Structure formats: structure tokens, C-alpha cells
Chain A
Amino acid sequence: MRIALFSTCIVDAMYPRVARATVEILERLGHEVVFPPGQTCCSQMHVNSGYLDDAHAIVKNHVKAFSSWDYDVAVAPSASCVVSLQHQQPMVCRRAGDEALAEAAEEVAGRTFELSKLLIDVLGVTDAAAQLGSYFPETVTFHSSCHGMRHMKLGSRQSDLVRTVEGVQFTELPGLEECCGFGGTFSFKNADTSGAMVDSKIRNIERTGARVCAGGDVSCLMNIGGALSREQIPVSTLHFAQILASTRENRLQVSGPVALAETGRGRA
């Protein structure tokens, strides 16, 4: 299968390890991964901030970047960005009176899958240890991001996959249905409220006793990891793709509060 990777802007620019892990998993399964180079962002930041006119140009870019390539499905290591393609992009175009682009956006979005959904529902991966050789001997809890859980009805697909990784000791996160407080520009426009929300989240994470908090959206993980780092709580945040990509031979080393990123406190 030929799979087009939509890395998402934040993974591309801030957390490239997550995109590399995604590529690694898909290539391990024998698929060809391509990266349409014109891609940037899904436009969600602009849409959610009310800048819908500006979002139009970004949608146009995304649609052009992906419709000019030939692939079977596209994948993104983010439910939030995929939901934005599916629900926001057509709305942005229609609001701008651009019906042709709305339909083209729907076409691209209709072939773009969130990673766990692609793995389970399309590629039939239900046992990461057996099918991907995934190995990660750590205590892990999991934050289910709102957009995957609610808009996409992913349920526990992501964490279920993590639980099939050899060596993972899994602990359910209390308050798993509660938002971490990120919310894009909400995180700084309503900084105090957002800060109170992420504080509840990290206290719940702490209660699990896990060393790793995994998730499926780096935006939430950046928020959670940033708060864990500030409070000096020794829990690392990781994208589940990184855990699936980890093997006995090439084991992911976790050594600090923000293992999601290349570097960080505790890894110097």
C-alpha cells in the first residue's frame, strides 16, 4: 500500500521523532510511505482562533499538497488534525464561498486516517508485539485526547494498541475523559484556567505511578509534558507511535520528563 504521511505542523517542526516513528511502523509492515512536500498545517489553529478567512489559504495549500500525489490512504499521527480536515476544512471553504475547494477538501479528508485507526481498522494490526515486534518495558498510562475520543469516536484504540506492546505495564488514567486544558490558543489566552486544568491532569497522572504518559496528540502531550516538567514530576510524555516503534533491538530510551522531544530536562 502507498501511504501519504501528513506529519502535521507541530510534529514536523517540534516533534519530528513522532513522524519518524510513524514512518518506521508503516515501513515495518511493508508499506511505502510518501511525504507530499507541499504540506504544512490543517488550519485548525486559525479556525479555532476565529481567523477563518486566513484559514482558507491554509486549507487550499493542504488540499493542493495532497491531491497532487497518488496514494491509497493518508495518515496523520493526530486525531485532532484529522478531525480538523474532516469537519473544519469544508466549513472554512463553504464560508468563503469556495464550494469546489470544499469538495476537494472532503475528498482528501475522506482518505486521511488517524494512525491507530489505520493500523487497526485498515491494516489489521491488533497485536503490536507479534505484528510489529514492539517492546517497551515501562509502566505506562494513557491520556485519550478529546478530539479522537469525542469527534472521531476512536474509543480506546490507541491505548489498546499500547497494551499489546511487550513489556508494557499499563495503568488506566483516572479522569480519562477530562480535557488536559490545551485547547490551542486557549492555553495562553485563558492561561490561568488552562493551567488549572492541566494541573488536575498531571495530578491524576502522578496517582497512576506510571513513568510514562502516552497519548495520540502531541499538542496535548506538549501541554501535559510542559506542566510535568515545570512541576518536576518525573514522568515522560510519549506519542504511542514511539512506543509501537520501540523494539528489543532498538529500544526507546526514556530518561526525562519530555521524552517526546529530542532533548529536555534530565537528558542532558
Chain B
Amino acid sequence: MSTVSLGMPGIRAYGSGNIIAAESFPDRAPRELANPTLRGNLDMAMHKIRTKRAIVVGEKDDWQQLRTAGSEIKQNVLANLPELLERFEAEFTARGGHVHWARDADEANRIVLDLIRAEGVTEVNKIKSMATQETGLNEHLEEHGITAIETDLAEAIVQLGHDTPSHILVPAIHRNRTEVRDIFRREIPGVSPDLSDDPAELAEASRVRLREMFFRNRVAISGANFGIAETGTLTIVESEGNGRMCLTMPDTLITLMGIEKVLPTFADLEVFLQLLPRSSTGERMNPYTSMWSGVTPGDGPQNLHVILLDNGRTEVLRDEVGRQALHCIRCSACLNVCPVFEKTGGHAYGSVYPGPIGAILSPQLTGIHAGKNSSLPYASSLCGACYDVCPVKINIPEVLVHLRAEDVDAKHGKAEDAPGGAKPARRSAPDQMDAIMLAAKAMFASGTRMGLAERGLPAGKLVAGRDQVISTLPGLIGGWTKYRDIDAPPSEAFRHWWKKNRPKADRRRPDGTAVDVLALIEENRGAAQRLHERFTGADGQGPSSADPAPEDGGAAAEGGAPSAPAVDDRGEDGDLYSRLLAVEREQIQREEATGRTLADYARGTEQDGEA
């Protein structure tokens, strides 16, 4: 190459591959929502996996410290990424492996194709891997006459069904076992036409099919959960053992790893091997953890390659708020708790990274204006469940809002010059959202103006008509009345009522007396906990017949509010579901403030001093 290096000009800014939504989330979601089988499959699976996770996480007294450790290790990785990657390269090479660098999806796919061609084969085995999904490796290989066999059971179901994955961890979560049976009957040669939908039978059918592949194919492709810089060790964490077969049986093993997957030391695995299985499958420990550090003569693959993939990651790293998305260890806990994902499933996100993490990762990897990715940060109610469960503390709601602002700024022609030479988006014509926000801003910028605007409230009462309920609204906000009514506004705003019913107060108190609020808080320390225990018992096991009577026997005793358990109609999952309620209830316990200032109390504790 004859280009002159000017810092990092050789690095392409944005990523490519299967991470660009072709359709906007609000356009795609209704089709998914209209599929009752999908809704049923997701509802069942989501609640089950959520429950399992909540239970095993609840067992760990040091879970919050583990999360902090995971987050801090990842921050350290991002701060030292170049050095760590070079160290990894040196160690992996020293142990007989080959390291390749790929700037984007196309480059990664080309490198893999060349390596496979060098082996002269037309069929390879694959371990489930998000990085290869991201680059669209299978499709690329297919175009060049090479068949990649997915050996992960769920990934195999997706592949056999000519489908796309809808979940990071359980890519076939949108399928139930009857659908799986139909796919197997149709697609696996020689399978019994009487194959039932019994999970054991389905697993056996898949096992028989894959065993043959494991013995037959000499080349395998994997992703990597972790790459250890100090030892050049690659790590794969899985549940089925099919991954272990792929990693140990072939002669040639080609691994595609995102550059953010590097960890400084072997000891760092201690943290992540606790965080990952509990967060992802709800297991205390994953069944198979495979590690390989170079070539061992006469044992396992003798031809080892790793491709270090950027594909937009360096671009994400530039963004001080958004870079935390690179902490992600692909556990999928955020998908599993997400109420949006639970309804729409993963396909609505149009990227191999669905759910909350996908909503921040895809648009950052590709640049927010690639395809319809700018719709993804809005595909969230900002409920925060994802942040609560994230084992590496990615504040997903914060990044979602940050990306929305980036989108709006770009729309308004205020985006800074996009890196990598891309032109900033042009100012687009004001839309309905702009109009709503502008009007609201004008009103909210002054109490006087808001008071004047509220004089118009009775007009809304007129609009509402006799039943005082509004059932249709125009334009964009008509989305509200598609599913809900809205109350008629009141005849009088609170501020006007107040003015009429309370004497005008002075801004300053004449005597200047202030109450010592901190002393009051000190006095009431533990009050919330004691109150809570009155209804749950000190063990936090939820409301039950163990409801203790109030101590004072006063008026409250009469109102002693016995708690009736809600009817549980979830059948065999009911028991699990009740346990979830208990665990969740425990997890959302009120927290006593431990701070020093009033603000610490008003805010509620930010546990373990997170900034």
C-alpha cells in the first residue's frame, strides 16, 4: 500500500454485515406481534429463563461486587486495548497459532474463506458464534461453494429451518418443539417420519446427524468468549459439548473474535465464568468450558488461526458514553428480562444483536444512520430492567437516550462530522415529533406560560364529550388511542386551584428556621425495612399466611390488610413463577440510604459507590 499513515486513517469507521436493520422497528414489530405462536413461545420461554436466572443470581451474596469487578475489568480492557491485543497476538503466535486482523465483516469473511480453501475442503463445522453471525460468514461461504454446518442444537434448528436467529443465546427461542419436530422431519435426511416432539427424541435425531459431521469434517470455525492476553488462550463456554467436539476433533480450527473480547489475565476468568453462566442460561456453572493456548503436538487441531475483528468496535470506543456497550459478554440477560423483546422477539430488531444490547450495539457499530438502525434506540420503554441484570453494568437506558439525542441532533443538522469521512446527515424537514417537542418546550420553559396554556384545559373536556373519555387522537399521538383511551382533562389545573385555595406564601420564611432533615432521617433509619417486614416476614419470602399482626394493635389492626395471593393460572410453570415472584420481590427490596448528604437519601443509594 502506498498510503501515508496519519494516526488511524487506515481503520474504516463503521461495521458492516448482519447488523443493519432493513426495516424500522415500529414497521417490523407489528408483524411479529401478530403471530400468536411466537407470542406464546416467547412468553413461556422468557419467564422460565428469567426465573432461572433470578434464582441462581439470588444465591450469590457477592453478585453486586462481581458485577462491579466485571465492569471494571472491561473498562481496563478498553483503556488498554491496543497493548492487550498485541500481547495476545504475541502469545498466541509464540504457541504456534496464526493471528489475522480484520477491519470489517468483508475482510474477516475473506480471510476465513482463504484459510478454508487452503485446506481444500467444501464443508466445515461451526460452533455457535455471534461474531460469524455478525459478519454473515455462512452466507459468504455458501456463495463460494462452502457449506458451514451449525453444530449448536438451536443454531442447527435455525439453519435447517432456513431461518434467522432471534436471540443471542437461544437463537431458536421463537420456535416451539412441535415446530422443531416439523423442521427435523423435513430437513434431516433419513430421519424417522414418526419423530415425535419429545425433547429427548429431538436431541437424539440432532446428535446422530451431527456425530457424522464431527467425524467427517477436518476444518471447524468458532467464535470466542474470551481471549487471554497474557497466555494467548482462547476460551469457549457452552452447554452441549458440540462445541468441544468442534474444537478438539478437526485438524484446522479458525476462530473469529471481536477485539473487545480480550482479557488481560487468566485470573480475570474467575469473574466472568461466574457472571456469564448465571446471567445467560441461569446455570451456576456452564457444562463445557474449553480453552486452548496454541498447538499441542499430537493433540487437537495442529493448524490454529484467530482473526481479530474490528467491524466498528473502534468507532464505538470513541464514544465516551456509548463505549460501555463493548463490555458486553453476550450473556443475553438483558434480552430475557426485556418487556419489549418479550413481546416482539428478536427478529423485529433486524440485526443479529437483538434486544436492549442490540438496540445500542447495532447502531453504534454501523453508525446510527445505517439502514433503519436509527429506529432501534427508540425501541425501549426505558424501564431499566436490562441495566439491573447486566453482569458488566452496561447502563443501557443511558446509552439509549444518548443515541436518541445523537439521532435528533443529526436530524437537526447538528451532528459533528462523522468519523471516517462520512458526511454528517443533512437537516431534515421538521416532523410531527419536532412540532410536539417545540410546543412542549415553549410551554415548559415558564410557569406563567404553562399556567396560561392550562386555561385551555376545559376545551379538552368539551372534546371528550359526554363520557369524558377521549378515544381518538390525530396524527402521531393517535398511536396512544390505538390501544387506550385518555381521560378528559380536568376543569382546572392544580396551579389554578392552589392559587384560589391557599394564601400567597412568602418565598422566604420570616423566621428563617430550617428543620434538620438529616437528623429526622437518622431518627427513622430502618423504618422502611420494618414496614416491609410487616407484610413479608423478615425472611422476605413474600406475603403469606405468615403476615404478622401489627404490633400496636391500634386502628391499623382492623385494617390489617390480609394479603390474598393472586390466582396463578400458569399451570406447571406456576410453581416456578411463584418462586420468581418471591425472588424478584426480594431483589427489588427497598434500600436504606448509606450516604452522608441529603442528596444521597433523596436519590437512594447507588450501591457500591458507582458514579
Binding site for B on A (CB under 8 A): 1-2, 7, 9, 11-17, 19-20, 23, 32-41, 43, 45-54, 57-58, 60-61, 65, 68-70, 72-73, 82, 86, 88, 95, 106, 109-113, 117, 120-124, 126-130, 133, 135, 141, 144, 146-147, 149-157, 160-161, 163-174, 176-179, 181-200, 204, 207-209, 222-223, 225-227, 229-230, 258, 260-265, 267-268
Inside 8 A of A68's CB, which chain B residues have their CB?
507
Contact in complex: B408, A51 (CB < 8 Å): yes
B476 contacts partner chain A, Cβ-Cβ < 8 Å = yes
**B310-345 contact mask (Cβ, 8 Å, vs A): 1 or 0:** 000000000000000000000000000001100110
Q: In the complex, which residue of chain B has the Cβ closest to the Cβ of A46?
A: B437
**Chain-A contact segment, one of B25-33, B212-220, B419-427:** B25-33
A265 near B468 with CB under 8 A, answer yes
Q: Are A154 and B555 in contact (CB under 8 A)?
A: no
Q: B382–A109 contact, CB under 8 A?
A: no
Hey, which chain B residues are within 8 Å of A164, CB to CB?
531, 534, 550, 556, 559, 561
**Which of B114-122, B198-206, B258-266, B478-486 contacts the other chain?**
B478-486
Q: Of B440, B512, B564, which is within 8 A of A169 by CB?
A: B564
Q: Is the interface of B mostly helix, strand, loop or mixed?
A: helix
Complex CA distance for A128 and B559, rounded to whole angstroms: 10
Other 20 A-B pairs with CB < 8 A, given A160-B532, A193-B379, A264-B487:
A12-B450, A14-B487, A38-B448, A50-B409, A52-B405, A52-B408, A54-B438, A57-B444, A129-B554, A149-B588, A150-B384, A155-B591, A161-B531, A172-B566, A186-B381, A187-B480, A190-B29, A193-B344, A258-B469, A268-B466
B340-381 interface mask toward A, CB cutoff 8 Å, 1 = contact, 0 = none?
Answer: 100110000000000000000000000000000000011111
Known interface pairs A13-B493, A126-B530, A157-B528; A198-B588 also in contact (CB < 8 Å): no
User: Pick the contact of B489 from A13, A121, A230 — CB < 8 Å?
Assistant: A13
Q: How many angstroms between the C-alpha atoms of A14 and B460 in the bound complex?
A: 10
Residues of B within 8 A of A37 (CB): 447, 451, 495, 499
Nearest CB of A to B578, in Å:
9
Report if A154-B408 is in contact (Cβ < 8 Å); known contacts: A13-B493, A54-B437: no
| Residue in contact with B556 in the complex, picked from A49, A54, A109, A127, CB distance below 8 Å | A127
Q: Is the C-beta of B514 less than 8 angstroms from some C-beta in chain A? A: yes
Contact B445 A40 (CB under 8 A): yes
For chain B, residues 368 to 400, give those with C-beta under 8 angstroms from any C-beta of chain A.
377-385, 387-388
Given known A172-B543, A186-B381, contact A61–B444 (CB-CB < 8 A): yes
Task: Tell me if B30 and A153 are in contact (CB < 8 A).
Answer: no
Please tell me if the beta carbons of B602 and A111 are within 8 angstroms of each other in the complex.
yes
Q: Kindly list chain B residues whose C-beta atoms are within 8 Å of the C-beta of A49.
A: 404, 408, 433, 437
By the criterion CB–CB under 8 Å, are A113 and B563 in contact?
no
- Residues of chain A with a CB closer than 8 A to B39's CB: 196
* A177 adjacent to B385 (CB under 8 Å): yes
User: A266–B407 Cα gap in the complex (Å)?
Assistant: 43
Shortest distance from the beta carbon of B181 to any chain A beta carbon, whole Å: 28
Q: Which residue of A lies closest to B437 (CB)?
A: A51
How far apart are the CA atoms of A223 and B384 in the complex, in Å?
18
Complex CA distance for A204 and B588, rounded to whole angstroms: 19
In the docked arrangement, what's the CA distance between A212 and B127, Å?
52
A35 in complex: contacting residue of B408, B478, B488, B498, CB < 8 Å: B498
Q: Give the residues in chain B near A15, CB-CB below 8 Å.
A: 487, 490
- 483-525 of chain B: CB within 8 A of chain A: 483-495, 497-499, 502, 505, 507-509, 512, 514-515, 517, 520-521, 523-524
Interface check B581, CB cutoff 8 A: yes
- Tell me the complex Cα distance, A126–B135, Å: 57
B576 neighbours in A (Cβ, 8 Å): none
CB-CB under 8 A for A16 and B494, given A144-B588, A189-B476, A264-B487: yes
Min CB distance, B104 to chain A, in Å?
28
Verify A177–B561 contact, CB threshold 8 A. Answer: no
Q: What CA separation (Å) do A172 and B448 show in the bound complex? A: 42
Q: Is the CB of A127 within 8 A of B550?
A: yes
6 contacts between A and B (CB under 8 A): A54-B438, A70-B512, A86-B602, A130-B556, A161-B531, A193-B29
Q: Is the CB of A188 within 8 A of B437?
A: no
The answer for the CA separation of A146 and B392 in the assembled complex, in Å, is 21
**Taking CB as reference atom, which chain B residue is nearest A41?**
B444
A229 partner, pick from B30, B450, B485, B581, beta carbons under 8 A: B485
Minimum CB–CB distance from A113 to chain B (whole Å) comes to 5
**What are the residues of chain B within 8 A of A13 when measuring CB–CB?**
450, 454, 457, 489-490, 493-494
Judged by a CB distance under 8 angstroms, whether B193 is at the interface is no
Contacts of B447 on A, CB cut-off 8 Å?
36-40, 61, 65
Chain B 415-447, CB within 8 Å of chain A: the 1/0 string?
000000000000000000100011011011111
Closest 4 CB pairs of A and B: A155-B590, A110-B599, A183-B381, A191-B479
